[in-house]
Structure 1
Amino acid sequence: MPNIACGKPVGAGGVGAVDVVALIGIGLLTGATTVLFGFGGGFVTVPVVVWADAALGADAMQVATATSALVMVVNAGFATAVTPRRVLLALRGSGTLLLLLAAGASAGALATRLAPADVARWGFVAYVALTIADVLLRPGFLHPGSRIEATSDAPRPLPTVLGAPAGAVAAFLGVGGSVMTVPAMRRAGHTMSVATALANPLTLAIALPATAVSLGGAAVPAAADAHLQLVGLIDLRAASALLLGALPVIAILRRRPPRIPDRTYAWAYIGLLVVVTVAMLLSA
């Protein structure tokens, strides 16, 4: 990371005024990814907060993961609330899955506080890279075949037994659950528009307990030197700026969703994963 971020010397006051404007702008992007890809903000938020809080050094990843969870709670919760009920009915019978996702997320968030920062950082990069390879090489994502017509009657998006490990990995890396659930739902026969919409309530099940754990986290020693005010492990200033940009975009896109051909939609999902991987590598 460079020593100057947006004209502000690192360590001279945490997230500065210019950074806040940049975060609001990036929040617009997180709002779009929440609606279009079901990401809730995790994949975009983690690299951005690592950059904004670079003054924390190795602790920046821990704060970014916690801040990402809070952003995902608000974004995914709002997106779920404005999703048509007929779409959400596809999750009928998934109560056990949601509980296991939440339980796994609690364990993953606790593990984040104990693990070295580099483990989460490089785990994030490796996880996204493997997902890109998986959706490109394994059948069912780009070419879902005849089952693509299925919507509310499609099988459950994720096997229940995978709920706990999926929640743990997603919370540990701060990525939400969409990168696991969207490919699974595609292979179950959902269109991209339905798969990404259903990713939001599943992300909410992961982000809520992860946020609760993060709010009770011990103070980051470097925060005082960086003049950064944290609540638990969460950078509320960064989260607020991101949400200020995101929420209006979610409201607009849910009301007027863009018409994107399914195949183009799937390729755009992969492209975003590539961009985020590159961004994380550049922030290392």
Structure 2
Amino acid sequence: MDLLALLGIGVLTGLTTVVFGFGGGFVAVPVVLWTDRALGPDALRVATATSAAVMVVNAGFATAVTPRPVLAALRGSRTLIALLAAGGALGALAARYAPAGPVRWAFVAYVALTLADLLLRPGFLRPHARADDEAGTGLPAVLRAPIGAVAAFLGVGGSVMTVPAMRRAGHTMRTATALANPLTLALALPAAAVSLLGSAGPAGGSLAGTVDPRAAGALLLGALPVIAVLRRRPPRIGDRVHAWAYATLLAAAIAAMLVPGTA
């Protein structure tokens, strides 16, 4: 995949960061997996590590330009953030040693189960009516570290679980996706650190740890301007349409991982 194509995908990751709170993980993993397919079994490990690095920058920048009143909903969430970070580090460590095949199918299963939950269980497509300042995060304490671990292990960021949880707690999609960025940053930062310090393997000359800097740089070059523009002028999307679009993007991520040639 040439630089121009990676830049174009980077634009898409910027869009998903702002509109869906993904930080780019769902888009980055299939793309980097395809880009680095010549690495064979190491390609998925590199894809998840590179995704974590991209998410750190995307989610960090998106958080920095998010209005302070929106971020105020996370006050008192230090324990939540610490548990997500601890889980992120553990998940990244596990990903370094896991075989590629099971991780790939775990990615598909994880997203597919989430999609089924969104469509079949009430509270996401039509959330409970509750004021945002009273809604909280909706994340049970017992799930916080596991969310970080699973998200970092698969390179997808935590938004696939944090957005639905905050949605069911009563937040609008716009607020839930905005709050997903600082939570994604909390788990992606230690995951990226573990990846950058990891063994580069046989392709060490072109990697930083297990991160592909060329792919990460191209994706970020496309993403960051989009994040800056959309945070200043967020798109006007109806709440229910926004929720359905989120579910549709999960379906697209599953399809991308099932395309022949990404194995």
Structure 1 length as normaliser, TM-score?
0.90
Question: Does residue 93 in structure 1 map to residue 76 in structure 2?
Answer: yes
Q: CA offset at residue 146 of structure 1?
A: 2.3
Could you tell me which of 227, 238, 248 is aligned with 1:271? Answer: 248
| Structure 1 runs (4+) greater than 3 angstroms displaced | none
Residue number in structure 2 paired with 1:187? 168
Q: CA offset at residue 68 of structure 1?
A: 0.3
Give the match's secondary structure for 1:152. helix
Residue number in structure 2 paired with 1:78? 61
Q: CA offset at residue 161 of structure 1?
A: 2.4
Give the match's secondary structure for 1:146. coil
Residue number in structure 2 paired with 1:230? 207
Q: CA offset at residue 154 of structure 1?
A: 1.2
Residue number in structure 1 paired with 2:50? 67
Give the match's secondary structure for 2:15. helix
Question: Does residue 45 in structure 1 map to residue 28 in structure 2?
Answer: yes
Residue number in structure 2 paired with 1:32? 15
Q: CA offset at residue 58 of structure 1?
A: 1.2
Structure 2 length as normaliser, TM-score?
0.97
Provide the C-alpha distance between the structure 2 equivalents of 1:203 and 1:254, rounded to a whole number of angstroms. 17
Question: Does residue 129 in structure 1 map to residue 112 in structure 2?
Answer: yes
Provide the C-alpha distance between the structure 1 equivalents of 2:134 and 2:105, rounded to a whole number of angstroms. 38
Residue number in structure 2 paired with 1:252? 229
Could you tell me which of 210, 217, 227 is aligned with 2:198? Answer: 217
Could you tell me which of 164, 172, 178 is aligned with 2:145? Answer: 164
Task: List per-residue Cα deviations over 1:204-239 (Å, max 9, x = no partner).
Answer: 001000000001111222x26xxx600100000000
Q: Any gaps of 5 or more consecutive residues in structure 1?
A: 1-5, 7-18
Residue number in structure 1 paired with 2:180? 199
Provide the C-alpha distance between the structure 2 equivalents of 1:181 and 1:145, rounded to a whole number of angstroms. 16
Letter in 1 for 2:171: H
Q: Any gaps of 5 or more consecutive residues in structure 2?
A: none
Residue number in structure 2 paired with 1:173? 154
Q: CA offset at residue 107 of structure 1?
A: 0.6
Task: List per-residue Cα deviations over 1:99-135 (Å, max 9, x = no partner).
Answer: 0000011110000011101121111000000000000
Provide the C-alpha distance between the structure 1 equivalents of 2:163 and 2:149, rounded to a whole number of angstroms. 17
Give the match's secondary structure for 1:145. coil
Instruction: Check the 8 A contact 1:87/1:152 in 2, yes or no.
Output: no
Provide the identity percentage: 73
Count of residue pairs the alignment pairs up: 261
Instruction: Check the 8 A contact 2:16/2:24 in 1, yes or no.
Output: yes
Letter in 1 for 2:191: A
Instruction: Check the 8 A contact 1:86/1:152 in 2, yes or no.
Output: no
Query: Which structure: larger Rg?
Result: 1
Cα root mean square deviation, aligned: 1.0
